[in-house]
């Protein structure tokens, strides 16, 4: 690596002098010697790049006439290899993804400037490494080329490992951003699903509005699945594997798949009867199917044929991507299309995060990467068979699992929605609509319900000797008292009370949940909520 300069030349694109000083002071307090120039127009940036080339560019994204996207485009047009970091008060998930795909090296929120100095140091080291690489490549063209070839190859491998590490760091940044909005977004979806369900309960099966409401309900479920997909992909939400029947899952989402692919695509499903089960998170299995189908649909813009097949297999081909499963029997899911196909280079990068062959704004590049992550987590493997103009066939191999013995429901019912017997439930939720929906569902389900908008209010109700609650249903992420302290206080006041959590996003390192307490994921259905409440009351879980 080249020697680091004594002083770092910083070009700061910022229309606020106060914010500029804040950024520079933060870097200087980290031990960096900064010589900076502030500009706020394209002409100012163009002049600085031409006459006073910087070591690094930091750009605000909130300026009214010259944002980070325009600054990045201007920098790339000069051909200069200069790191570009976005610093913004707020930035949307799509904007952040688009900027990184366009060439931004990182983004840092202004309320988390502690990340800025390490990001600057990292990107400067990368830039200096690239300069060294260019000098090395020039030297290789001299008489010493043969003797230095091995050394260069080793450096290439090291830089590739560093690139992969930096990619992981960027994914972590995107994941933190996703986690910040997941909770509120799932609450909104819960409101849509909840009130849609109430209206559907009042309409007869032949009502003309029923198909429209069912489409709204399906759309809300798909949006919830996409949110969960991003959280799982970002390692912010753990998967919950269970033994599932692949044929059943395909059958359950067939109607949704048919609407997704459109009428210009011939669609066929061929499932092998008596297929073994697999062990995987059902949501992740649905994501695998949906992402493969969406990818196949995108490869056939002018129509074609798409087939889904399930089958059993005794081995995994040697060409499979991923570690070969250790099972002796496998369940296969194949999605085949007659679309444009993939050349070898596209196949090589097909499962790479953020890689996409679609135009800007037409794909996130996370679809097949998420498929690979889900299959790898389930100890499976994938094969890709494709060629330009010859369509694509992707097969997922998952270890077979024995079909579980069906047990009778704990309340003695035979598959109908579990109902209450007048038990008293306290709902603790700061979102007014979710609180109202939960209360309404539970009341209709046969329970006596009270609610509280804050944990302090909930504690007053729990400690009231005239009230005897059987179960507490509480959101995980709420302002005020930490969730663990809240649960411990409730249990000291009422040792016999049962507890169930509900949340759209629980992976927060600052919040520790007590072990053994079940969680209902938002947005939840009436059946899911009532079943969990009944199961918890019957089992005595606390």
Q: Is the domain of 387 the same as that of 463?
A: no
CA dihedral (450, 455, 457, 462) positive or negative: positive
Q: Is the domain of 445 the same as that of 532?
A: yes
In contact, 310 and 247? CB cutoff 8 Å: yes
CATH code of 470's domain: 3.40.50.2300
The CA distance from 356 to 346, in Å, is: 9
CATH code of 274's domain: 3.30.565.10
Q: Is the peptide bond before 523 cis (omega within 30 degrees of 0)?
A: yes
The answer to the question of residue 150 being in a domain is no
Q: Radius of gyration over alpha carbons of the chain, in Å? A: 28
Q: Is the domain of 437 the same as that of 513?
A: yes
Q: Is the domain of 336 the same as that of 432?
A: no
Q: Is the domain of 481 the same as that of 364?
A: no
The answer to the question of residue 317 being in a domain is yes
Q: Is the domain of 387 the same as that of 442?
A: no
**pLDDT over 90 percentage in the chain:** 26
Among residues 252, 255, 189, the alpha carbon closest in space to that of 225 is found at: 189
pLDDT at 83: 92
Query: What token pair was written down for 69?
Result: 């996207």
Query: What token pair was written down for 436?
Result: 């109202």
Among candidate residues 82, 117, 142, the one where a domain is terminated: 142
Among candidate residues 95, 125, 142, the one where a domain is terminated: 142
Q: Is the domain of 364 the same as that of 295?
A: yes
Structural domain boundaries enclosing 254: 239-401
pLDDT in tens, the chain (542 residues): 445 567 899 999 988 898 889 999 989 998 899 999 999 999 999 999 999 999 999 998 878 888 888 999 999 899 889 999 998 877 777 777 788 888 888 888 888 888 888 989 998 998 888 888 888 777 666 656 666 666 777 777 777 667 666 655 665 565 555 555 666 777 788 888 888 888 888 887 888 888 888 888 888 877 776 676 556 555 555 567 889 999 988 888 887 788 778 788 889 999 999 899 999 888 788 888 888 888 888 888 888 999 999 999 888 888 887 766 667 789 999 999 998 888 888 777 777 765 565 544 444 445 677 788 888 888 888 888 888 888 899 999 999 988 776 544 444 344 455 677 889 999 999 989 989 999 999 999 999 999 999 999 999 999 988 888 999 999 988 888 888 889 999 999 999 999 999 887 655 433 567 777 888 888 888 888 999 999 999 885 45
Q: Is the domain of 383 the same as that of 508?
A: no
The answer to the question of residue 207 being in a domain is no
Query: What token pair was written down for 474?
Result: 């509480």
The answer to the question of residue 353 being in a domain is yes
pLDDT at 207: 87
End-to-end CA distance of the chain: 57
Strands 56-60 and 8-13: parallel
Among candidate residues 91, 124, 142, the one where a domain is terminated: 142
The answer to the question of residue 227 being in a domain is no
The answer to the question of residue 267 being in a domain is yes
Q: Is the domain of 434 the same as that of 475?
A: yes
Element (H, E) at 10: strand 8-13
The number of distinct structural domains making up the chain is 3
Q: Is the domain of 14 the same as that of 127?
A: yes
Q: Is the pTM of this model over 0.85?
A: no
The answer to the question of residue 373 being in a domain is yes
Q: Is the domain of 383 the same as that of 247?
A: yes
Q: Is the domain of 271 the same as that of 125?
A: no
The answer to the question of residue 193 being in a domain is no
């Amino acid at each position: 690596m080249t020697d680091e300069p004594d002083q770092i030349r910083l070009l700061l694109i910022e229309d606020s002098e106060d914010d500029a000083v804040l950024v520079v002071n933060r870097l200087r307090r980290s031990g960096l010697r900064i010589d900076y120039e502030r500009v706020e127009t394209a002409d100012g940036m163009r002049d600085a790049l031409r006459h006073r080339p910087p070591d690094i560019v930091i750009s605000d994204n909130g300026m009214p006439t010259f944002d980070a996207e325009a600054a990045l485009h201007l920098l790339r047009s000069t051909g200069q290899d200069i790191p570009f970091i976005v610093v913004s008060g707020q930035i949307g998930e799509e904007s952040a993804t688009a900027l990184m795909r366009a060439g931004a090296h990182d983004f840092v929120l202004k309320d988390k400037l502690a990340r800025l100095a390490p990001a600057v140091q990292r990107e400067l080291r990368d830039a200096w490494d690239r300069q060294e690489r260019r000098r090395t490549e020039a030297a290789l063209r001299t008489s010493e080329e043969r003797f230095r070839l091995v050394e260069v190859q080793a450096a290439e491998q090291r830089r590739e490992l560093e690139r992969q590490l930096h990619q992981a760091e960027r994914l972590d940044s995107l994941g933190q951003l996703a986690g910040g909005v997941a909770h509120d977004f799932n609450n909104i979806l819960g409101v849509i699903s909840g009130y849609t369900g109430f209206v559907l309960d009042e309409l007869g099966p032949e009502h003309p509005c029923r198909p429209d409401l069912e489409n709204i309900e399906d759309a809300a479920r798909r949006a919830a699945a996409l949110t969960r997909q991003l959280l799982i992909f970002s390692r912010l939400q753990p998967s919950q594997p269970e033994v599932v029947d692949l044929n059943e899952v395909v059958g359950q989402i067939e109607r949704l798949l048919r609407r997704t692919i459109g009428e210009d695509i011939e669609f066929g499903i061929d499932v092998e009867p008596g297929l073994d089960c697999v062990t995987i998170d059902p949501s992740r299995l649905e994501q695998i199917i949906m992402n493969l189908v969406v990818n196949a649909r995108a490869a056939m813009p002018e129509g074609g044929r798409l087939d889904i097949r399930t089958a059993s297999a005794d081995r995994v081909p040697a060409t499979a991507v991923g570690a070969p499963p250790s099972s002796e029997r496998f369940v296969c899911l194949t999605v085949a299309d007659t679309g444009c196909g993939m050349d070898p280079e596209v196949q090589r990068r097909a499962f790479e995060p953020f890689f996409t062959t679609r135009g800007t704004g037409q794909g996130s590049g996370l679809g097949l990467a998420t498929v690979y992550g889900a299959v790898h987590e389930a100890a499976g493997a994938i094969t890709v068979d494709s060629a330009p103009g010859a369509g694509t066939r992707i097969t997922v191999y998952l270890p077979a699992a024995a079909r579980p013995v069906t047990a009778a429901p704990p309340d003695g019912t035979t598959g109908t929605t579990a109902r209450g017997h007048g038990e008293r439930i306290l709902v603790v939720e700061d979102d007014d609509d979710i609180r109202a929906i939960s209360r309404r569902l539970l009341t209709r389900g046969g329970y006596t319900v009270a609610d509280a908008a804050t944990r302090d209010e909930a504690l007053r109700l729990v400690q009231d000797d005239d009230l005897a609650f059987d179960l507490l249903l509480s959101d995980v992420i709420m302002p005020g008292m930490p969730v663990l302290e809240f649960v411990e206080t409730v249990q000291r006041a009422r040792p016999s009370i049962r507890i169930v959590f509900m949340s759209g996003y629980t992976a927060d390192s600052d919040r520790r949940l007590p072990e053994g307490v079940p969680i209902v994921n938002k947005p939840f259905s009436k059946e899911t909520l009532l079943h969990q409440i009944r199961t918890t009351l019957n089992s005595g879980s606390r």
